Structure 1
């Protein structure tokens, strides 16, 4: 071996020479790359910091420009103009409008506003995001700062400027002389020199601005105004007081082992400064030199050693393989310590063994191929693909069975394994039982909760219903954890009808009754119609829910469930009605501007209703769901302002009079437009809709409890003509007043007879 390795033309010599040449090329490339990059790194670091500061300046200047724009828009808004002409008295409507505008600006997170204040110097009054305050109370209780007090801002309002940024400072919020929070805020004042009685003060969150706009790894940052005063700084006191002079024709300078990058903005004249310690850069260079040199030395030693080792290991197996090929006969090569040679020997053995087992494996693969052929055929139903060759069934009569699995909630708590694994157990059990009685059945699982079986029918095969009943007895043993819906089609005689048989079985699955037992469905026993509220019932449900009438709302839902139960409606109809009703409740809450959810555990109704398999869980769920919803509505109503409360009480007491929008608005000394808008916003329905709801409710009580004529009831509840009353009553109830009285009288007589 040594003689061969020393030969100039040997495989070993050529391999080793090639490896050494590649190593030399890589080492040369690394040296050149490092020499070039080392000189470029420092320039790149300086360029990076310069570009980063440019980006910071651009962001800050754009933010100041935006704050100035929105403040001027607020100053020149119609509401602010009316405040300017208030002559020492405040109008609640204008103050509310300004507060609403201020709150909208505060809620915009992109403005980084902690608070925005509209200050009136003549009345010493301030409007901010929380409402309106006396300026002395605001700056001594909520925004306490030794420098920025009430007198400071009043003096600043008299100064001749329109836009000014003040040094950032810590503001303390107090309540009963107890400190609550401290904030580092950057004050900005915007005003109109023509009217010094009104100004906008914006308190920017300085820390958030810094985190958003200064994306540097070095936090030493400062903003100075035109007079050299620090407006905002993240440097320590000693560093900020020892700043160097900044030449106008440069973008950075050095002092005391620090780089100072700086830029003066054209629009505001502010100077932006970022300090980068030189020791950070030099330390990185030293570490880089040491790491690269160490890596290079290790790479050289490892590469040379690996080259020699690989060359030897690669040369020896090739040599032994050549010797084996030259000496090869009918006997297999002998095992050696060479791994590669042993692999080749094993391959010879494997080829011989493969030849012996080929027929057996081919039979197994044909069975597997048949399974996948059936699967592919059934998948065409889902994918609407074209039919494949009709070679699977050979026109044998067949029936298709669907086993739909429903896992109960307690399955995950008690079973100890996943649902997918349980589904595979079900499939194996079904296949085992079918194989015992039918020829070549196929049991497939295309969905995790659905198993499909193809059963081929012969003259002497047992009845499919009997086989399924036998399996049902086993399934019922685990009904506390899981139950099935089993539906099977009629007999079909051609493979082209597989889609038709699947559609038949799928339609039967939907006819499952509402219980927790395994069911076998083979035909449709009755005409199936969807269950839902009628338009009049839906309107009545909405009106009662909006009014917070829990008993009536719950009665409507429970009555619908009882009707479906009496008709023996399928389970899917219960689920559909439940989901549509829950959706109606959520839409009603949304119309009332209620953002809280009435369901518990952060689970949407669709998820919770999946666990309802009988009538009682449905009823119990909606009792809780409606109770929580009505509670939210009542809480919302309790938060109504006095104007809405007065309007609703007035309509309850004067529904029979001229209770128009203008009349009620005149009682409140406000405009009809303002009352209409506010009423809709607070209650979720229009004023006239609410009035008609009150009148129809009163009319129903009169129809049920008195013998008054319909025309008299119409006048008593405030309708000028009986036709208007009948039309509105039918719109709300779906019945005319006479039909409603007749139905109520019949129902009362029936209860009395019972």
Structure 2
């Protein structure tokens, strides 16, 4: 089977889409116009028959009254009551006057005939006759058998003409109004006729039938009195083909269709209430729709023109709409179906490629999820170990989606869980790692995810941070204790092991998680005298106060090293002074004070070595910096020694370097950001490539650009996100993934924080401006 391209299918569909409605509308218009014309014509025929009926009945009614007046006249009554002598000319003349009053051009009455069977005479226009000697007296005599006193009867005209004029009769039939005489007597022995030639009905009807139209008047005996074809007069209604049995037409008016000689006719009829005559009009449907034929031809021409125009539009429009599909197929390395073998159109090819991408994406997502979990575990471990600066801690919380959760917690605590012993159990030391994994899962199952951080194991200890939005400390402590008991009980039921749990004091600052972790560990050390399977709150130890520990001002040390790199003397001097104040505010012994001093010295010397500075550049000749520091006794002289011996000389060295190197280093770092912004780029990677210390590069970059490396990278990614939102159709999720966000929600939150609106709103606003 031949395989068509999507372009051909789209073009064909477009042609059908425009052709079918046009053809439907054209056909419907023609059909509707034909129906309207037929209805109007039928309505016109009904009105015409009503007018025809009124015209004819008006004359027939005049004839009826005239004949009735004649039959009731004294002359007629006298002639019917006494033998009539033809020699009585006076009576005959009086009768002729009465008869002449009945005949008129208006009523079309040509002859009035009086017959007396009892006295055997007949009077008509041509004279007085002995009735039984009249040629057609038998046929006429039979009319006395008519059922009613007055009867409208179709008779051959020859009955009422003498033999001399019989061949000159203008109409073959005569319509006779027959009245039985005498009117007032039950014994009828005479007849009165008012004869109208059927030819006169044409003037009464006052209508000229059109082409393919037949007009008929049918009496109550189913005889045709009038027909647009005169040869049909006198025949029965069934002979016309339009009326099979007039008695079936019981309604006063009506209309029906019928087939005659392979042609369809509309037959309209109207029955007279005066004499029960039937007025019929039959007209061909084709003649009615003759005007509609012109509409049909015009509709066909217009429809074909519209079809051609829309077919061309569909062709060119389909090609334009197909262009992106073709480009997409070419970009994914495919060829259009007419250029390649096998089944399937462009979308099949695209679908195959997308399935490959989805498979690759699924694999990448699995790998990324593994890396994310590893990164998350490392972050939480560093948080508990206290090796994160506050800013890094806040950034990581946002990065891993814990920012809003922690912001909503009013107090937190850390619980530490340890398996007491495997002695006298069914487990061996090789099972310890698996058992710790089981304890982790149990803890995460029993503690709702919205009130905890992911649990992890540090040195055979399961550690979990729990938070709450409740400000009541007693209720929070009770809640944590209940969780600890539930975990301990579940482990004992499922694993048949004793589990001890240490609970830290509550805290509100996530930076204090490391202190809480150590409190939990310290609480567990009291198992030595409390025994196995215990829950030990740190609140019961150390008088309920937080664990006392010396907090080395590491952040201040880092900022001091940055100030040295940036050659900022004022800031470096102030940080050194602040460092000394932080150390001195601790309640330590003289020996303990030496530890932070020597730690600072050690950090400075390591920094010197990493920066490529020699001891000779610092003025060191004989002796050791450690020995010099050890000889000093007062805080003021120690501070001055650090400034004069190390910090100020280093600032001078870096000032000399900066004049030639800073700008070049910053430009290289900016170039690396522009090339690798969509990777997991860090300042440590830049330092490794540029062969500099990371802290040194951080200080140089901040001095040259006015912002930290992470701030600059974040701003650069934000600008790229704005560009992609405005110029591409990339989804928010795709942009977030490309810019190394853990999930789209983190990206949306960061974007809104800096721009004040969401990425979707930014794209919508830009599209409105563009249009």
Same fold (TM over 0.5): no
Q: What's the TM-score once normalised by structure 1's chain length?
A: 0.31
Structure with higher RCO (Cα < 8 A, 6+ apart): 2
Q: What's the TM-score once normalised by structure 2's chain length?
A: 0.30
